[in-house]
Structures are given as C-alpha cells and as structure tokens.
C-alpha cells in the first residue's frame, strides 16, 4: 500500500488557483455533446471523474479534442452516432446518472458499469422514472444498482413523471439534462417532473438549471417540487469557462482558519453558481475571518485564534461539510453536522469512515443515521495513519489534521485523483 507522510505543521498561508469544478465540468461535457454546434471549454477539470465522462462520450461517437488548455467538443446535434457501446464510468456519480438518463432516452443498446463501489451506489429511483418514460433498463447485478443494460426506448408519452429527491439530487439532475433533447427528438411536447420527498443537495440542481439555460433551455419551476421541461434542442453557447471547484476550495480555506492564514483561493467567489461556496459561512460561524471577492475567497484564523464548535444543517453543502468534521478537531466544544444521510451512499459510508478516522486522533465521536458529532481531544494523537476508503474527500480533509502539529500518514493517497490529482502538492505549498 502506498502511503504519504505529511510532516507536522502549524501555519498555513498562501494562494491556490483552483482546478475546475467537477460538477460543472461533467455537466458541460454532456450538454456540449448533446448540443448543436461546437463548444470550447476552458478550465475543464482533469481528473478521474472527467476522464471517464470524456472516454464515454468518445465511445458514443462524440468528437472532442484538446487544444492547449481548452477542450473542444463538437455536439452530436441531439443524438449519439454510436448505437452500441460498453461504458465504464469508474465511481463518478456525475457520469453514471446523467449518462444513464441520456442513453435510456436514446435509441441504442448500451451497457454501463463502474468500480465495485459503484455497484453499491443507488440508481433505482432514476431507473424507475426512466421506465415511466418507456425506457428499457435491466439490472445486471443487484436490483437498484449498476451495472445496467440499456435498450432502445419504447414509445410512451406521459405528461408528467415523478422522481424521488431524498436519496440523491443527481437523479433529478440527470432527467433535467437528458429530457429537453430527447423530447424534441421524439416530437413530443414538454414534460413535468414532480419531485417526491424532500429534495436533498438542492444547490446542485441550481447548477444544472443554470448550465441548461446557458445552452438555451429554460426550465420553469414551482419551488423544488415541480419542474416543467420544454422539448427544445440544446444550442452551444460557443465558449464556456468552468469555475474553480468550490468543494476543493474547502480544504485550503479550512487550512487558513486552522493555521492562521490568510489562505486565498482563486477561481470561485461571490458570483459562483456552486452551493459549496457557502462553506465560507460555516467557517465564519466558527469564528474565522472570511472575505468573499468576485472571483476569490480568503480565510484567516479568528482574531483570538480560537475556533468555536457549531451545530449545522449541512444538507446544502454535503461535500464541503466533510471538511468541517476535521475542522472540528480544532474547535472548542462539540460540533454537530446534521442532515447528512446521503453521506452513507457516496464514495464510501462517509459517516462511518469519518467517525473511525476522527477517533484515531483522540476525538470523541457520536454518530446517528444522518448526523455526526465531534468533540476534540485536549491534544491530537501524533503519527496517525488515516485509512481513506478510496474516497478522495477522506484523504483531502484529513491532511488538515497535520496542522495540529502532528505528523499524519495518508494511506492510498492517490484516491484524490477522483477530483483533484495534485491536491497534496498544493497543500504542501501552503503549510509549514
């Protein structure tokens, strides 16, 4: 097993230019593939999750090429040239769910699979909705989970469909992304999507709607309950600049709050479409000093040097909230992160993983079905080897523990390649 030994550190300060947002990158790639016209994409994230999307699109007959730092995608004009393909999407939720919807509403024969953990990440609610639309989808392993076989869609024209929103927002996102073109291609009229249950991770649906709009499709909606999707073909906006990744920003901003700062990240700011920029509000509530500029965020430690524990509903920031669990090691009192049930079905069971690893540092940890509470020890245990469960965020957030002036070992550090392959290089540049 590969290990990365992080030296004990006490200070963090510096500037980090963020890589592109994963959520925006994979949405823009699919939209560009579905659209009429050529899309030039700047600052696309280069990581495992985007590599599997690019690879899938190429297998589906979409022409794309790199031109320096730019990716140029020639849209398929609403259909995929390749009618039979076997796709492998690693552990990328932003690839498996939207691609399943797009392919299930197309007219070919496809197979889609991923890594072993993907076989435990739910997709049944999305498949149920696609079946309401006439999709032919079979489970090749366990019901409700990838791998899937997808056949050509049978004619079926309901005026509305329902989808569950309380397991993953990616099911709604997948339908929203795939439907406009599919409805237009089949000569159908618009369709209403009704959300059943309380929609989680809402800001990610905002990202979806914002990007659809940029590709010429406006969805009317009634709160978070009903979305009216028109039958319209996507049009390329020509050029798209991908914002920096707000979830990736969280590790550096937290380092600024723990290690003095200032730490400044560039590429996201006030105008960001990503919900995870609200991570800065959580640090503010813990006493940190934050400045949000148009295209950058800067964080320093509290003026008295003491971070305070918080009790926070984290449903709107599910990814960045993991970082708070490690910041809690440096805050006075008991930090409670609530409404995070979706953590259990992500890259790993993140509530269980964080509880286990935080305890190695001496923290008192309580966990419930959808919450986690952390009370720090008087002093962090030195020399902990953190297991990472093939979860990029577990690896990244525990790097922060080294700022407690303790050496930390990260087991299997390369799992960060899912969204941030050179994360540890950037981290080393800002800590000392």
Ligand X SMILES: O=C(O)C1=C[C@@H](OP(=O)(O)O)[C@@H](O)[C@H](O)C1
Binding-site annotation, residues: 22-23, 27, 93, 121, 168-170, 201, 319, 346, 350, 393, 418
Region for 378 from its dihedrals, namely left if φ exceeds 0, alpha if ψ lies in -120 to 50, beta otherwise: alpha
Q: Which of 27, 153, 346, 426 binds ligand PEP (CB under 6 A)?
A: 346
Does 387 sit near ligand PEP (CB under 6 A)?
no
- Cβ closer to ligand PEP: 52 or 355? 52
Q: Which of 41, 419, 423, 430 binds ligand PEP (CB under 6 A)?
A: 419
Segment 216 to 275, residues that bind ligand PEP, using CB under 6 A: none
43 binds, among ligand X, ligand PEP, none (CB under 5 to 8 A by kind): none
Strands (E), 236-355: 239-241, 260-266, 289-292, 296-300, 307-308, 311-313, 331-332, 335-338
Q: Which residues of 17-42 are buried (b: 16+ CB within 10 A; e: fewer)?
A: ebbbbbbbbbbbbbbbbbbebebbbe
Q: Cα(22)–Cα(337) distance, rounded to whole angstroms?
A: 24
Q: Which of 44, 89, 92, 112 binds ligand PEP (CB under 6 A)?
A: 92
CA–centroid distance for 344 within its chain? 15
Q: Which of 113, 125, 319, 412 binds ligand PEP (CB under 6 A)?
A: 319
Which residues of the shown chain bind ligand X in the complex (CB under 6 A)? 23, 93-94, 168-170, 173, 200-201, 204, 318-319, 342
Does 94 sit near ligand PEP (CB under 6 A)?
yes
Joined together, the tokens standing for residue 322 give: 């993991």
The window from 34-42, 51-59, 90-98, 379-387 that contacts ligand PEP (CB under 6 A) reads: 90-98
Burial class for 270, CB neighbours closer than 10 Å (0-12, 13-18, 19+) = exposed
- Cβ closer to ligand X: 309 or 417? 417
153 binds, among ligand PEP, ligand X, none (CB under 5 to 8 A by kind): none
Determine the 3-state secondary structure of 145 from DSSP.
Answer: coil
Task: Give least dist CB 404 to ligand X, A.
Answer: 27
- Cβ closer to ligand PEP: 317 or 336? 317
122 binds, among ligand PEP, ligand X, none (CB under 5 to 8 A by kind): none
Task: Give least dist CB 44 to ligand PEP, A.
Answer: 16
Joined together, the tokens standing for residue 208 give: 């979806």
Positions marked active-site: 319
Q: Cα(267)–Cα(264) distance, rounded to whole angstroms?
A: 10
Q: Cα(130)–Cα(106) distance, rounded to whole angstroms?
A: 11
Q: Cα(286)–Cα(280) distance, rounded to whole angstroms?
A: 10
- Cβ closer to ligand X: 93 or 146? 93
Provide, for the chain, the percentages of residues in helix, strand and coil under a 3-state DSSP scheme, each rounded to the nearest 5.
35, 25, 40
- Cβ closer to ligand PEP: 129 or 342? 342
Does 93 sit near ligand PEP (CB under 6 A)?
yes
Q: Cα(267)–Cα(43) distance, rounded to whole angstroms?
A: 10
The site for ligand PEP (CB under 6 A) is made up of 91-94, 319, 346, 393, 419
């Amino acid at each position: 097993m590969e290990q990365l030994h992080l030296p004990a550190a006490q200070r963090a300060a510096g500037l980090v230019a963020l890589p592109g947002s994963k959520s925006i990158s994979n949405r823009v790639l699919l939209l560009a593939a579905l659209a009429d016209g050529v899309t030039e994409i700047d600052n696309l994230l280069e990581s495992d999750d985007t590599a599997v999307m690019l690879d899938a699109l190429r297998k589906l007959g979409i022409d794309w090429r790199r031109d320096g730092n730019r990716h140029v995608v020639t849209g398929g004009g609403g259909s995929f040239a390749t009618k039979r393909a076997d796709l492998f999407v690693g552990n990328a939720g932003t690839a498996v769910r939207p691609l399943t919807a797009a392919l299930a509403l197309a007219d070919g024969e496809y197979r889609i699979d991923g890594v072993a953990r993907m076989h435990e990440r739910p997709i049944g609610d999305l498949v149920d909705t696609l079946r309401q639309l006439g999709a032919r989808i079979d489970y090749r392993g366990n019901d409700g989970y990838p791998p899937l076989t997808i056949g050509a869609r049978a004619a079926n024209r309901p005026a509305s469909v329902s989808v569950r929103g309380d397991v993953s927002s990616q099911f709604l996102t997948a339908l929203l992304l795939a439907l406009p073109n599919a409805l237009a291609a089949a000569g159908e009229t618009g369709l209403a999507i009704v959300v059943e249950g309380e929609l989680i991770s809402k800001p990610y649906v905002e990202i979806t709607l914002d990007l659809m709009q940029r590709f010429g499709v406006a969805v009317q909606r009634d709160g978070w309950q009903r979305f009216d999707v028109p039958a319209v073909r996507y049009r390329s906006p020509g050029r798209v600049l991908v914002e920096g990744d707000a979830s990736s920003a969280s590790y550096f901003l937290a380092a600024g709050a723990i290690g003095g700062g200032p730490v400044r990240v560039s590429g996201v700011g006030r105008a960001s479409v990503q919900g995870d920029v609200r991570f800065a509000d959580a640090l503010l509530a813990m006493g940190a000093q934050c400045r949000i500029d148009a295209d950058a965020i800067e964080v320093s430690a509290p003026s008295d040097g003491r971070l305070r524990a918080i009790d926070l509903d984290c449903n709107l920031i599910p990814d960045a909230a993991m970082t708070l669990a490690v910041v809690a090691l440096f805050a006075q009192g008991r930090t409670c992160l609530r409404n995070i049930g979706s953590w259990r079905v992500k890259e790993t069971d993140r509530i269980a993983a964080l509880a286990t690893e935080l305890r190695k540092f001496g923290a008192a940890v309580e966990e419930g079905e959808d919450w986690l509470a952390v009370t720090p020890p008087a002093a962090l245990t030195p020399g902990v080897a953190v297991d990472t469960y093939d979860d990029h965020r577990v690896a990244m957030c525990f790097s922060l523990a080294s700022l407690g002036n303790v050496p930390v070992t990260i087991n299997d550090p390369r799992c960060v390649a899912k969204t941030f392959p050179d994360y540890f290089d950037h981290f080393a540049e800002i800590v000392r």
